Amino acid sequence: MRYESPATTKEAVALLAKEKGAAFILAGGTDLLVRMKMGLAEPDLVVDIKRIPDMNTIKTTQTGFRIGAGVSGAQLTAHKAINKAWPGVVEATHLIGSDQIQGRCTMAGNLCNASPAADSVPAMIAAGAKAIVVGKGKRRTVPVEKIVTGPGKTSLKKGEVVEAITLPKPAKRTGDAYLRFTPRTEMDIAVVGVGISMTLERGVVKKARVCLGAVAPTAVLVPAAARALVGSKLDDAALNKLVAACAKACNPIDDKRGTAAYRTRVAGVLAKRAAKIAYKRAGGAA
Amino acid sequence: MSDAVLVSTKVNGDVVEFACPTDEVLMDSLRDRAGMNGVKEGCGTGDCGACSVTLDGQLVCSCLVLGVEANGREIGTVEGLTEDGKLHPLQEKFIEHAALQCGICTPGFLVAAKALLDNNANPTETEIRYALAGNLCRCTGYDKIVRAVQATAKDLRKSKKR
Ligand SMILES: Cc1cc2nc3c(=O)[nH]c(=O)nc-3n(C[C@H](O)[C@H](O)[C@H](O)COP(=O)(O)OP(=O)(O)OC[C@H]3O[C@@H](n4cnc5c(N)ncnc54)[C@H](O)[C@@H]3O)c2cc1C
Ligand code: FES
Ligand code: FES
């Protein structure tokens, strides 16, 4: 196995594009090194992106935030402005593993690992996050929901790297939240995760995005669930419609963490709770 | 066969250099090449925290870091807690409160607890339990560990005031 730690994205892309064998990007390594240990990944080349300065910083831009792909959960949690703008995204990322894992894990790694239960992903999608994808000679900006195509599968082409995740500047009176259900409060994998963001006008939901995790092969954005909220002040009728829309969007598996029926039920319960938190954060009267 | 790379790093303040196979994890480099046997392997997959060290001051599982990643960085292990053979207050309190039995988890708990106290001089019990959620102990039932950390925090706050 060759190990490279390039200083620029361009070099990283060139290394990946040139490699004939199995090439892997190393961000925090909290998924990749576990897979290597289990024999599930056998890299010929590992490209460590953590020494690329551009990928290690959080920048506040005119349109929002640009979070480098090497930025750890701990770095994100320490960023005051993002905590204020998108608390749900920070909470979701902070749920990944222990303090030890937080010191290393990245949002981009969580996304590109393509687990259906990845915690930061539904929150990113709800917030309208985008991935800046760099390949040889080109760069594209892709909505986060377009990256994962199935368990362990992404739409990234050979040699392509996620350089950063962007979060928009939230419109006034916007709030977001992420909740997950796990048997243990820390160090567990989501049975269900729900990310919601919404923008209010005079206490009425104007815009919303609802995204479910761990209930389908990929995180699913549920427009019908968002429509259930729009126009409401989160009254019971709207919340019941939200629950029904979420249940309809679920396509979960039965496994040791929960049956499909249980997951479907919990998705609705969590969606209701997350909607209430996001509403309150957006300045709505609880 | 894997390539080897020359790694130059600082462990507990001392410069350490070794040839490191590229696929070797830092936990093994520290134990087998730097002689830091206080770094323990429990699971090798990030779940138990026995291999906890600091990397440029950040708490990490050394089983989930490649040895080659340590090049040019600074590592702190449990061996760095003692000064001139004198135990760190956390170590004293772990003994006093019987916060260990078999002891395999102890170095990881000490390194993680120190990382917590460095950032938060007065953690609540809940904060301590969350901060140590990445460290597993099959012997003590955790309570004595939490008490030992609380007692250390209290003592350190007192000695700072003086
Ligand atoms: C003990 C433990 C607990 C965990 N708990 C949770 C949890 O609660 N919730 C959760 O969601 N996850 C959890 N995880 C999984 C893991 O920590 C997360 O998925 C994490 O966010 C992965 O980020 P990373 O930077 O470590 O990824 P890496 O391991 O570095 O990379 C993951 C994958 O993505 C690819 N990749 C990484 N960065 C890029 C990039 N910029 N562009 C293209 N491809 C890239 C890599 O090649 C690799 O295939 C846990 C893991 C462990 C070991
Ligand atoms: S050995 Fe590293 S976490 Fe268990
Ligand atoms: S003292 Fe034995 S595992 Fe903790």
CATH number at residue B147: 1.10.150.120
Domain boundaries, chain A: 2-168, 174-281
Q: Please tell me if the CB atom of residue B141 comes closer than 6 angstroms to any atom of ligand 3.
A: no
Cβ(B53)–Cβ(B62) below 8 Å? yes
Name beta bridge partners: A133: A140, A162
Look at residue B1 and tell me whether its pLDDT is greater than 60. Answer: no
pLDDT tens-place string over residues A2-18? 999 999 999 999 999 99
Instruction: Give yes or no for residue A118 CB within 6 A of ligand 1.
Output: yes
Reported ipTM exceeds the 0.90 cut: yes
Contact B47 A187 (CB under 8 A): yes
B111 secondary structure, DSSP code:
H
A135 phi/psi in degrees, rounded to 5: -125, -175
Sequence-ordered list of residues with C-beta below 8 angstroms from that of B124, at least 6 positions apart, any chain: none
Torsion sign, CA atoms A67, A72, A75, A78: positive
- Architecture (CATH level 2) of domain A2-168: 2-Layer Sandwich (3.30)
The CATH topology of domain A174-281 is: Enolase-like; domain 1 (3.30.390)
Residue whose C-alpha is closest to residue A61's, from A9, A113, A132:
A132
CA triple A97-B22-B36, angle to 5 deg: 70
Q: How many residues does chain A have?
A: 286
Q: Do domains A2-168 and A174-281 have the same CATH topology?
A: no
- Statement to judge: residues B99 and B136 lie in one domain: yes
Of B80, B106, B129, which closes a domain? B80
Helix, coil or strand: residue B160: helix
Residue type, B91: Q
pLDDT value of position A165: 98
Distance A34 CA to ligand 3 centre (A): 23
Last residue of a domain, one of B80, B103, B136: B80
- Whether the pLDDT of residue B130 is over 70: the answer is yes
Q: Is the CB of B137 under 6 A from ligand 3?
A: yes
pLDDT at A212 over 90: yes
Q: Is B67 helix (H, G, I), strand (E, B) or coil?
A: helix
Cα A259 to ligand 3 centre (Å):
34
Mean pLDDT value across residues B135-160: 95
Whether B151 and B89 map to the same domain: the answer is yes
Chain A residues in contact with B135 by the CB 8 A cut-off are: 98
* Whether residues B18 and B68 fall in one domain: yes
Q: How far apart are CA A33 and CA B64, in angstroms?
A: 6
- The amino acid occupying position B134 is G
CATH of the domain at B52: 3.10.20.30
Average pLDDT of the residues in A58-63: 97
Domain of residue B115: give its range. 82-161
Count up the domains in chain B and report the number: 2
CA distances from B158 to A221, B83, B161 (A): 52, 20, 5
Residues B114 and B132 grouped into a single domain: yes
- 3-state DSSP assignment of residue B150: helix
More confident residue, A201 or A189: A201
- Residue of chain B whose Cα is closest to the Cα of A1: B2
Q: CB–CB of A29 and B66 under 8 A? A: yes
pLDDT band at A183 (very low <50, low <70, confident <90, very high): confident
* Same structural domain, B87 and B149: yes
- Cα-trace Rg, chain B: 16
Same domain, B95 and B54: no
> A187 — alpha (psi -120 to 50), left (phi > 0) or beta?
left
| Distance from the first to the final alpha carbon of chain B | 57
Chain B residues with a Cβ under 8 Å from any Cβ in chain A: 2-3, 5, 22-23, 25, 44-47, 49, 52, 55, 58-61, 63-66, 68-69, 112, 115-116, 130-131, 133-135
Output the pLDDT for position B88.
Answer: 97
